[in-house]
Amino acid sequence: MQIREIVVPVDFSDCSRAALARASSLAERCGAHLHLLHGVPPTPYPAPVEFGIPTSVTEEIVSGARAKLAEWARELESSGRTVSQETALRAPVDAIVDSARARGADLIVMGTHGHTGVKHLLLGSVAERTLRTAPCPVLTVKEDDTPGAVERIAVCTDFSDHAARAIDFAIDWAKTLGAELHIAHALLAPVHVYAELPPPPEYLGEMREAARRELDTETRRVEGAGLACTAHLLEGDAAGAVAEFAEHAEIDLVVVGTRGRSGLKHVLLGSVAERVARLVPGPVMVVGEAAS
């Protein structure tokens, strides 16, 4: 795994501070350069169209953001990191994706608040929107994250091509960090769609056996890459099952692939990767199609 350029979007929140600490730890281990980025929306305050935001107000906001960003950069430089910084007058997601693409970033590390329920529906998440279009893997970090050794990595699979890409990234990370690797698949039993009758036990048994065979195939692939691997067949909703497993097994990093859906398809189908990033208490690395 070659990590040479890490983009760290910051909004000066505690989540951003935690993400920066995690990125700094990775940069120290990999000898990577850190690029701090803050995106200022062109319209920083919601207002009726007839009441435009005075240019002086926007300039003051941008100036304040640059000063704060420079302060954070100096703190990193004092600890021996190589750092650059950028304040962009653009929507944060666009600024993040374009900066990562322009710099050939190997990784984006950013904080996520992990909102659920109504708050999540109303506010959304810059992190989650970034996951869908990022040109490289995105490592999401919660506010209470404490950088430490990554000794146990779990990668989620649904046996698809995008999951295979995530496994490849997980293999590289496990080798680089000297971590043990776990592969997890969550089996969601069919709902009662006919006369409220549950599926026959033999049908569920066949599903489990098919999943185990697929897990065995993935395990052999990992072992062929020179790593020991433990497979886990979980049951239930994928995101919830993975989050529960990660906490119970004391997993230090969860890796998951995503198809990067957007628009109506995303609204209807959602994203397991986004829900995993929201529910898992520790860091989650999301590998999208654009990162292959």
Each residue's pLDDT tens digit, 201-246:
787 888 899 999 999 999 999 999 999 999 999 988 889 999 999 9
In the sheet that 152-156 helps form, which strands lie side by side, from edge to edge? 83-88, 33-39, 5-9, 107-111, 138-141, 284-288, 253-258, 152-156, 180-187, 229-235
45: left (phi over 0), alpha (psi -120 to 50) or beta: beta
Average pLDDT over residues 56-70: 87
258 band by pLDDT with thresholds 50, 70 and 90: confident
Task: List CB contacts of 127: < 8 A, sequence separation 6 or more.
Answer: 110, 111, 112, 138, 140, 277
Task: Report residue 264's pLDDT band, with 50, 70 and 90 as the boundaries.
Answer: very low
Which distant-in-sequence residues (6+ apart) come within 8 Å of 192 by Cβ? 198, 199
- Residue 181: which of 205, 158, 157 has the closest Cα? 157
How does pLDDT run across 149-189, given as a tens digit for each residue? Answer: 899 999 999 998 889 999 999 999 999 889 999 999 998 76
Alpha carbon distance 139, 20 (integer Å): 11
Is a pLDDT exceeding 50 seen at residue 191?
Answer: yes
Q: What is the pLDDT of residue 47?
A: 54
What Å distances lie between residue 159 and 98, 184, 216, 218, 289, CA to CA?
Answer: 31, 10, 11, 8, 15
- Judged against a pLDDT cut of 50, whether residue 117 lies above it is answered with no
Give the range with max mean pLDDT: 164-168, 192-196, 257-261, 285-289: 164-168
DSSP letters for 241-265: HHHHHHHHTT-SEEEEEE----HHH
Please give the pLDDT value at position 100: 97
Distance (Å, rounded) from C-alpha 224 to C-alpha 217?
11
Res 266: pLDDT: 39
**Residue-wise pLDDT tens digits, 99-112:** 999 999 999 999 98
**How far is it, in rounded angstroms, from Cα 55 to Cα 30?**
42
Give the angle subtended at the CA of 233 by the CAs of 228 and 238, to the nearest 5°.
Answer: 115
**Averaged pLDDT score across all residues of the chain:** 85
Give the side-chain half-sphere CA count within 13 A for 104. Answer: 5
Which of these, 179, 172, 47, 36, lies nearest to 108 by C-alpha position? 36
Residue 120's pLDDT is 40
As a whole number, mean pLDDT of residues 26-39 equals 94
123 pLDDT more than 60: no
Q: Do domains 1-115 and 149-292 have the same CATH topology?
A: yes
Domain ranges of the chain: 1-115, 149-292
- Whether the predicted pLDDT of 17 surpasses 70: yes
pLDDT at 198 over 60: yes
Ramachandran area for residue 80 (φ above 0: left; ψ -120 to 50: alpha; else beta): left
The mean pLDDT of 9-34, rounded to a whole number, is: 93
- Domain 1-115 architecture: 3-Layer(aba) Sandwich (3.40)
Domain 149-292 has CATH 3.40.50.620: yes
What mean pLDDT is predicted for residues 254-258?
92
Number of neighbouring beta carbons within 10 Å of residue 93:
21
25: Cβ contacts below 8 Å, ≥ 6 apart: 147
Does residue 124 have a pLDDT over 50?
no
Kindly indicate the confidence band of residue 69, based on its pLDDT and cuts at 50, 70 and 90: very high
Token representation of residue 257: 């692939």
The structure tokens listed for 120 are 């999540």
Structure tokens at 168: 């490849």
**Which of 53-57, 237-241, 288-292 reaches the highest mean pLDDT?**
237-241
- pLDDT score, position 68: 95
